[in-house]
Amino acid sequence: MSRKSSSLTIRDVAQKAGVSPATVSRYLNNSAPVSTEVAQRIQKVMSNLKYVPHAAARQLATQKARAIGVLLTDIDSAFFPPLISGIESIVQQEGYNLLVASRCAGNEVDAQTPIGPHNSDGMIVFPGSLNDSEILKLYQAGFPLVLIYRTAPEGSHIPSVAVWNKRATRELIDHLIEVHHRRRIVFVRGPADNEDSQRREMGYQESLEAHDIAYNPNLIISGEYNRNDAYQAMSKFLKNEHPDFDAVFTGNDDSAIGVMNALYEKGLRIPDDISVVGFDNLELSAFLTPPLTTIHAPTECVGKTAARYLFKLLANQEVDLVTLLSTEIVIRRSCGCSA
């Protein structure tokens, strides 16, 4: 009969893995890198033993840092300031410090994360900053996490906070079709593995189907949620042989800037020739030429909600596992409306 997880210690894990307890401790706490082979061996032993480190014991050993971390993929986009502002407002109320870092998830198991148990008491994770195995490792080590704009990996119970994507996108595509009679609509994707982008594309497809418009994969381009990539993608689309189109749904407002520049360079008028709409309602969207019709996403509120949930986890309180915040369409002139 195997021993219960509660009676196991890192010494048991170390013995089975053929390493020292100090090595297991380094692996669990991310306090120093260990080799990929050793990390995989330790993780396999932990899984076989069903060993889950006791969060309270880890905190007693390391003491509280009174700091909360936020791990992003970059900090250059105009999307991030309201998100960080929302998080910071709650962190300050709680008397904690806020650590912000950027990182793109790698495949190396032993890649050291800039934020983790070694310098914070919990972390808010943005898509693409940690891969599933890295998230699961922290979760299994008892480190409090809240995910934003993505769901938890299978086998975990990590709270996530996002916004309504599919419904809002469908409503905006409905608007283009029903009000402005657009039927050949380009969809500009975000990153391939981004759940927000996937759900927005589902809303796009649902609207087309509801209006008996055939889905055309040749009207799908990848903008990567970045104005430069979106500009390049739209420029390439316009240079090559392409289907006729009369509107563009950009994956986010930052992509809309690149798309609009590419259309202008081609001599196309917005919205007379091509309607353009976005998602996020960044502050600058109202000042584009023409002002951008978009979907308002409560980005600051996502940050506040995620931070509140993280402090509830620290207080051992229950938290909803999935939270979706409402969005709404903001009508401006880029779709063809006079508003």
pLDDT value of residue 25: 80
- Residue-level pLDDT at 39: 83
pLDDT of 59 strictly over 60: no
pLDDT at position 54, please?
A: 60
pLDDT in tens, 141-171: 999 999 999 999 998 999 999 999 999 999 9
Cβ(276)–Cβ(291) below 8 Å: no
> Is residue 82 over pLDDT 90?
yes
Binned at pLDDT 50, 70 and 90, residue 48 comes out as confident
Q: In what order do the strands lie in the sheet with 97-102?
A: 97-102, 67-72, 122-125, 145-148, 160-163, 322-325
Q: What is the pTM of this model?
A: 0.81
Q: What is the pLDDT of residue 56?
A: 45
pLDDT score recorded for residue 107? 47
- The string of pLDDT tens digits covering residues 21-37 is 888 887 876 666 778 78
Cα Rg of the chain, angstroms: 23
pLDDT in tens, 168-183: 999 999 999 999 999 9
Task: Enter the tokens of residue 22.
Answer: 């100090």
Name the one residue in this structure whose structure tokens are 């939270």. Answer: 323
Give which of 291, 274, 252, 78 is closest to 168, Cα–Cα: 252
Domains and their CATH numbers in the chain: 1-52 (1.10.260.40), 166-296 (3.40.50.2300)
pLDDT at 30: 64
pLDDT of residue 26: 78
Contact 161, 148 (CB under 8 A): yes
Estimate the share of the chain in helix, then strand, then coil, as percent rounded to the nearest 5: 40, 15, 40
Across the strands, what pairs with 147? 125, 160
Angle at 133 between CA 131 and CA 134, to 5 degrees: 65
Whether the predicted pLDDT of 61 surpasses 60? no
**What does the pLDDT read at residue 105?**
78
Tell me the mean pLDDT in the region 280-297.
97
Q: What was the pLDDT predicted at 269?
A: 98
- pLDDT of 245 higher than 50: yes
State how beta strands 122-125 and 294-296 pair: unpaired
Residue 22 has a pLDDT of: 80
User: What tens digit of pLDDT does each residue of 1-26 get?
Assistant: 345 445 678 888 889 999 988 888 87
Average model confidence (pLDDT) across the chain: 91
The pLDDT value given to residue 156: 95
Q: Give dist(CA 321, CA 12) in Å, integer.
A: 32
Residue range 187-196, pLDDT digits in tens: 999 999 999 9
Check whether 85 has a pLDDT greater than 80: yes
Q: Name which of 16, 68, 18, 73 is nearest 45 in CA terms.
A: 16
